[in-house]
Structure 1
Amino acid sequence: MKKALKRASQRKTGTGGESKLEKLTKEAISFPGDIRGVEKSALDKREYRTFKLENEIEVLLISDSRTEASGAALSVNVGSFSDPEECPGLAHFLEHMLFMGTEKYPDENGYSKYLSENGGYSNAYTADEETNYQFQVMSGKLEHALDMFAQFFIGPLFNQSSTDRELQAVDNECTGNLQSDGWRNIHVKKALANPQHPFHKFNIGNVETLRDTPSKNGVNVRKYLLEFYDRYYSANLMKLVILGRESLDTLEGWAMEKFSPIGNKSIESPYAHPNPTGPAFTTDNLGIRVDIVPVKELRQLSINWLIDPVTYKNKNVDAAHYLGALIGDEGVGSVLTYLKEMGWANSLYAGSADNAFDFATFNVTIGCTEDGIKNHVEDITKVVYAYVGLVRENWDKIKWFYEQESQLGVINFRFKGEEQPFRYVTHLASSMHNGYPIQKILTQNLHQGFPYDAISTLVENFTPERSLISIIHKSVEEYADKTERWFGTKYTVNPLGDAFVTECLNVKVTDYAGKLSLPPRNEFIPETFAIKSFVRPTVSKVPESSGQLLKNVTSSTQVLSLKSLTHVGNPNKRSVALATTQRDITQVWDEDTWRPPVLLEVTSVSNLWFKQDVAFKRPIAIIRLTLKTKILNESPRTALLSTLYKSIINDTLNEQVYPAMMAGLAYGAGFDDNGIYLSFQGYNDKLEAFMKFVSDNIKTPARFEQSQFDRFKEALLKGMQNYTKADPYRLCYSNANYALENKGWTVDEKLEALAGINFEDVRAFGPKMFQNLSMEMSVYGNATPEDAKRYMKTAKSSFAADQPISESLQDQTVKLKDRCQYYLIRPTLDMENPNSAIVVVFQMGKYDRAESTLCSVFSSMCHESFFNILRTNEQLGYVVSSQKGVNNGVIYQAFIVQSNSKDPLYLDRRVESFLEEFEKVIMGLSEEDFDRGVQSYINDVLSASKNLFKEEGGWASEIQSEIYDFSSKIHLANTVAQLTVEDLRTMFKKYFPKDAPHRKKFVSGIVADVHAKALFGENYTIPEKVDNQHIAFGEDLLKKIVEANPDEAKEGGEIIYIQNSKEFRDASELYPSFVQMMEAGI
Structure 2
Amino acid sequence: MLRRVTVAAVCATRRKLCEAGQELTAFWGIKERGWCEDSAAARPFPILAMPGRNNVNSMDRILGENSRIARLEADESEEEGWRGSLSNAGDPEIIQSPRDPKQYRYIKLQNGLQALLISDLSNMEGREEEEEEEEEEKEVVLEEEDDDEASGAETQDDDEESFDDEDEFDGEHDDDLDTENNELEELEERAEARKKTTEKQSSVALCVGVGSFTDPDDLPELAHFLEHMVFMGCLKYPDENGFDAFLRKHGGSDNASTDCERTVFQFDVQRKYFKEALDRWAQFFIHSLMIRDSIDHEVEAVGSEYQLARPSCANRKELLFGSLTLKHEPKKNNIDTHSRLKEFWTCYYSAHYMTLVIQSKETLDTLEKWVTEIFSEIPNNGLPKPNFCHLTDPFDTPAFNKLYRVVPIRKIHALTITWALPPQQQHYRISWLAGHEGKGSILSFLRKKCWALALFGGNGETGFEQNSTYSVFSISITLTDEGYEHFYEVAYTAFQYLKMLQKLGPEKRIFEEIRKIEDNEFHYQEQTDPVEYVENMCENIQLYPLQDILTGDQLLFECNPEVIAEALNQLVPQKANFVLLSGANGGKCDLKEKWFGTQYSIEDTENSWAELWNSNFELNPDLRLPAENKYIAFDCPETGYPVKIVNTPQGCLWYKKDNKFKIPKAYICFHLILPLIQKYAANVVLFDIFVNILSHNLAEPAYEADVAQLEYKLVAGEYGLVIRVKGFNHKLPLLFQLTINYVAEFSSTPAVFTMITEQLKKTYFNILIKTETLAIDVRLLILEYARWFVIDKYQALMDGLTLECLLSFIREFKSQLFVEGLVQGNVTSTESMDFMKYVVDKLNFMPLEQEMPVQFQVVELPRGHHLCKVKALKKGDANSEVTVYYQSATRSLRECTLMELLVMHMEEPCFDFLQTKQTLGYHVYPTCRNTSGILGFSVTVGTQATKYNSEVVDKKIEEFLSSFKEKIENLTEEAFNTQVTALIKLKECEDTHLGEEVDRNWNEVVTQQYLFDCFAHEIEALKSFSKSDLVNWFKAHRGPGSKMLSVHVVGYGKYQLEEDGTPSGEDSNYSYCIIPITDIRAFTSTLNLLPYHKIVK
Give the TM-score normalised by the residue count of structure 2: 0.82
Query: Which protein, 1 or 2, shows the higher relative CO under an 8 Å CA cutoff with sep ≥ 6?
Result: 2
- The alpha-carbon distance between structure 1 residues 509 and 984, as it changes in their structure 2 partners (threshold 3 A), is farther
1:478 corresponds to which of 568, 572, 587 = 587
Q: What is residue 150 of structure 2 aligned with on the other side?
A: none
- The alpha-carbon distance between structure 1 residues 137 and 509, as it changes in their structure 2 partners (threshold 3 A), is farther
The alpha carbon displacement at 1:56 in A equals 0.9
CA distance in 1, matches of 2:1052, 2:826: 56
CA distance in 1, matches of 2:901, 2:326: 39
Q: What is residue 476 of structure 2 aligned with on the other side?
A: 365
* Partners of 1:827 and 1:1012 within 8 A in 2: no
Superposed counterparts of 1:719-758, under 5 Å: 719-726=763-770, 728-754=771-797, 755-758=799-802
- The alpha-carbon distance between structure 1 residues 324 and 118, as it changes in their structure 2 partners (threshold 3 A), is same
1:45 and 2:45 correspond: no
1:877 and 2:877 correspond: no
Superposed counterparts of 1:227-306, under 5 Å: 227-275=343-391, 279-306=393-420
Opposite residue 164 of structure 1, the aligned amino acid is D
1:663 and 2:704 correspond: no
Superposed counterparts of 1:546-945, under 5 Å: 598-599=644-645, 601-701=646-746, 704-726=748-770, 728-754=771-797, 755-803=799-847, 806-817=850-861, 819-900=863-944, 901-945=947-991
Opposite residue 322 of structure 1, the aligned amino acid is R
1:88 and 2:220 correspond: yes
Superposed counterparts of 1:389-400, under 5 Å: 389-396=499-506, 398-400=507-509
CA distance in 1, matches of 2:950, 2:226: 30
For residues 637-672 of structure 1, give each alpha carbon's deviation from its aligned partner in whole angstroms, at most 9, with x where no partner exists: 111112212222221121111101211222222334
For residues 999-1030 of structure 1, give each alpha carbon's deviation from its aligned partner in whole angstroms, at most 9, with x where no partner exists: 211100012222435xx7xxx4x34xxxxxxx
Higher alpha-carbon deviation: 607-616 or 763-772: 763-772
For residues 935-985 of structure 1, give each alpha carbon's deviation from its aligned partner in whole angstroms, at most 9, with x where no partner exists: 111112222111111101111111221221122111110011011111111
- The alpha-carbon distance between structure 1 residues 782 and 998, as it changes in their structure 2 partners (threshold 3 A), is farther
* Partners of 2:414 and 2:476 within 8 A in 1: yes
* Partners of 2:518 and 2:555 within 8 A in 1: yes
- The alpha-carbon distance between structure 1 residues 245 and 35, as it changes in their structure 2 partners (threshold 3 A), is closer
The alpha carbon displacement at 1:267 in A equals 2.4
- The alpha-carbon distance between structure 1 residues 681 and 237, as it changes in their structure 2 partners (threshold 3 A), is same
The alpha carbon displacement at 1:343 in A equals 1.6
1:171 corresponds to which of 303, 328, 336 = 303
CA distance in 2, matches of 1:481, 1:183: 25
CA distance in 2, matches of 1:1039, 1:1012: 5
CA distance in 2, matches of 1:807, 1:99: 55
Q: What is residue 563 of structure 2 aligned with on the other side?
A: 454
- The alpha-carbon distance between structure 1 residues 820 and 388, as it changes in their structure 2 partners (threshold 3 A), is same
* Partners of 2:987 and 2:1019 within 8 A in 1: yes
CA distance in 2, matches of 1:173, 1:518: 44
* Partners of 2:401 and 2:574 within 8 A in 1: yes
The alpha carbon displacement at 1:74 in A equals 0.6
CA distance in 1, matches of 2:994, 2:673: 26
The alpha carbon displacement at 1:774 in A equals 3.0
CA distance in 2, matches of 1:177, 1:670: 27
CA distance in 1, matches of 2:595, 2:92: 47
Q: What is residue 27 of structure 1 aligned with on the other side?
A: none
Opposite residue 474 of structure 2, the aligned amino acid is N
* Partners of 1:836 and 1:1011 within 8 A in 2: no
- The alpha-carbon distance between structure 1 residues 1074 and 936, as it changes in their structure 2 partners (threshold 3 A), is same
5+ unaligned residues in a row in structure 1: which ranges? 1-20, 23-31, 188-201, 311-315, 538-597, 1024-1032
Opposite residue 427 of structure 2, the aligned amino acid is A
Opposite residue 263 of structure 2, the aligned amino acid is T
Q: What is residue 1064 of structure 1 aligned with on the other side?
A: 1083
Q: What is residue 580 of structure 1 aligned with on the other side?
A: none
1:109 corresponds to which of 241, 259, 267 = 241
2:709 alignment partner, SS class:
coil
The alpha carbon displacement at 1:441 in A equals 3.2
2:291 corresponds to which of 156, 159, 162 = 159
CA distance in 1, matches of 2:473, 2:107: 35
> Matched residues, percent identical?
26
Q: What is residue 35 of structure 2 aligned with on the other side?
A: none
- The alpha-carbon distance between structure 1 residues 604 and 215, as it changes in their structure 2 partners (threshold 3 A), is closer
- The alpha-carbon distance between structure 1 residues 180 and 606, as it changes in their structure 2 partners (threshold 3 A), is closer
CA distance in 1, matches of 2:341, 2:1065: 47
Q: What is residue 7 of structure 1 aligned with on the other side?
A: none
Opposite residue 602 of structure 1, the aligned amino acid is N
2:422 corresponds to which of 308, 312, 316 = 308
Give the TM-score normalised by the residue count of structure 1: 0.83
- The alpha-carbon distance between structure 1 residues 693 and 159, as it changes in their structure 2 partners (threshold 3 A), is closer
* Partners of 2:200 and 2:529 within 8 A in 1: no
For residues 816-875 of structure 1, give each alpha carbon's deviation from its aligned partner in whole angstroms, at most 9, with x where no partner exists: 446411101112222211122201111122222332222111111111111122112221
1:339 and 2:476 correspond: no
The alpha carbon displacement at 1:438 in A equals 5.0
The alpha carbon displacement at 1:435 in A equals 3.6
Superposed counterparts of 1:407-486, under 5 Å: 407-437=516-546, 439-486=548-595
1:518 corresponds to which of 598, 609, 625 = 625
CA distance in 2, matches of 1:670, 1:177: 27
In terms of Rg, which structure is larger? 1
1:355 corresponds to which of 466, 478, 484 = 466
The alpha carbon displacement at 1:525 in A equals 0.4
- The alpha-carbon distance between structure 1 residues 766 and 817, as it changes in their structure 2 partners (threshold 3 A), is closer
* Partners of 1:60 and 1:240 within 8 A in 2: yes
5+ unaligned residues in a row in structure 2: which ranges? 1-50, 53-87, 124-198
The alpha carbon displacement at 1:911 in A equals 0.6
2:600 alignment partner, SS class:
strand
- The alpha-carbon distance between structure 1 residues 179 and 858, as it changes in their structure 2 partners (threshold 3 A), is same
* Partners of 2:201 and 2:268 within 8 A in 1: yes
Q: What is residue 130 of structure 2 aligned with on the other side?
A: none
1:778 alignment partner, SS class:
strand
For residues 89-120 of structure 1, give each alpha carbon's deviation from its aligned partner in whole angstroms, at most 9, with x where no partner exists: 11111011012111111111111111111111
CA distance in 1, matches of 2:1093, 2:618: 58
The alpha carbon displacement at 1:221 in A equals 1.3
- The alpha-carbon distance between structure 1 residues 731 and 675, as it changes in their structure 2 partners (threshold 3 A), is closer
Opposite residue 473 of structure 1, the aligned amino acid is S
2:1047 corresponds to which of 1004, 1017, 1021 = 1004
1:141 alignment partner, SS class:
helix
1:984 and 2:1003 correspond: no
1:939 alignment partner, SS class:
helix
* Partners of 1:92 and 1:126 within 8 A in 2: yes
1:55 and 2:114 correspond: no
Opposite residue 226 of structure 1, the aligned amino acid is K
